[in-house]
Amino acid sequence: MIIKSNGRDVILSNISDFDIEKTFDCGQCFRFDPPENTLFIEKRTVFSGVAFGRYIEFEQPTPDTLIIKDCSIEEYESIWKRFLALDIDYNKINSDILCEMQDDSHMHTAIKVGNGIRILLQDPWEAVCSFIISQNNNIPRIKKIIKTLSMMFGSEIVTPNGVYHTFPTPQSLYEAGIDKIAEARVGYRAKHIYDAAKKVSLGQVNLDEIKNLTTEDATKALCEINGIGPKVAACALLFGFEKYDVFPIDVWMKKVLLKYYPDKDIDFFGKYRGIAQQYLFYYERYIAANDSLAV
């Protein structure tokens, strides 16, 4: 990978195993979108949004080039390289997954189809809160709720592309209270979001410490928050705490397990089972989407 700056943007060339569309479209992140005028059918190569308190725009004009707009090399190195997981060798991870799974044929196909997906490293609090919101909910509505909460309780970022808002801090949501949070149309999740905000604000749940715990202990710690169970904890740990050995099981993964792996247990998927899960998840939804187009 070659890192260069043209004085305005950071330009990465010779990148591999990175697909911006798959990465931002696989249900792990709710705050990045293509420009509004992008047609659904065309390949989407530009995604922009807010993370870590900043507005940022990414463009992948060719498979091996990534442009990070209005960004210095320093900012790339300290924030976006980690966020996009560009410091991680996915070629090696993919072969490790296949090796541990004894070259399982379904996994082989899923990796082929999903190649380029990267597990983003999002802000821990944002991941916790976002996946509390995700329970019993669909992606468009999750996105809408997070946008509303950010507008109500985040701080404003003015950009040439419009006004954006940072993700609300635990403190701002704690101060807001359940009733104000409920005005974002979050439904019964208001008390869950509030409980999370309260416990994180008061230090009853320490997200920095959770980072250093084993996956098992980290899961227990997160489940102290009302509204966090095994599924939400697993997603938060995978997408916000760099825990690759969790295995979120949702309705899609239940289908996958039943269909391809009826007699396997979780250990079969190896130490990168969180990433393996993401490939299988993407693959199953890809098949479902193609089936519905074919009819």
Partner DNA sequence: CGCCAGGCGGGGG
Partner DNA sequence: CCCCCGCCTGGC
**Shortest Å distance, C-beta 195 to DNA:** 9
What are the b/e assignments for 190-203, b being 16+ CB within 10 Å?
A: bebbbbbbbbbbee
Q: Does residue number 185 form part of the binding site for DNA (CB under 7 A)?
A: yes
Q: Can you tell me which of 109, 137, 159, 201 binds DNA, judged by CB under 7 A?
A: 137
Q: Which is nearer to DNA, 68 or 122 (CB)?
A: 122
231 is catalytic: yes
Q: Which of residues 242-271 bind DNA (CB under 7 A)?
A: 248, 250-252
Q: What whole-number distance in Å separates Cα of residue 47 and Cα of residue 49?
A: 7
Q: Which of residues 212-241 bind DNA (CB under 7 A)?
A: 223, 225-233, 235
Catalytic residue among 143, 191, 231, 271: 231
Q: Which is nearer to DNA, 88 or 117 (CB)?
A: 117
Q: Does residue number 148 form part of the binding site for DNA (CB under 7 A)?
A: no
Q: Which ranges of the chain does DSSP label H, i.e. alpha helix?
A: 20-24, 73-75, 81-83, 90-100, 105-114, 124-134, 139-153, 170-182, 190-201, 207-212, 215-222, 230-240, 251-260, 273-294
Tokens 């090796």 appear where?
A: 99
Q: What whole-number distance in Å separates Cα of residue 232 and Cα of residue 234?
A: 5
Q: Does residue number 182 form part of the binding site for DNA (CB under 7 A)?
A: yes
Binding site for DNA (CB under 7 A): 26-28, 134-141, 182, 185-189, 223, 225-233, 235, 248, 250-252, 281
Just list the catalytic residues.
231
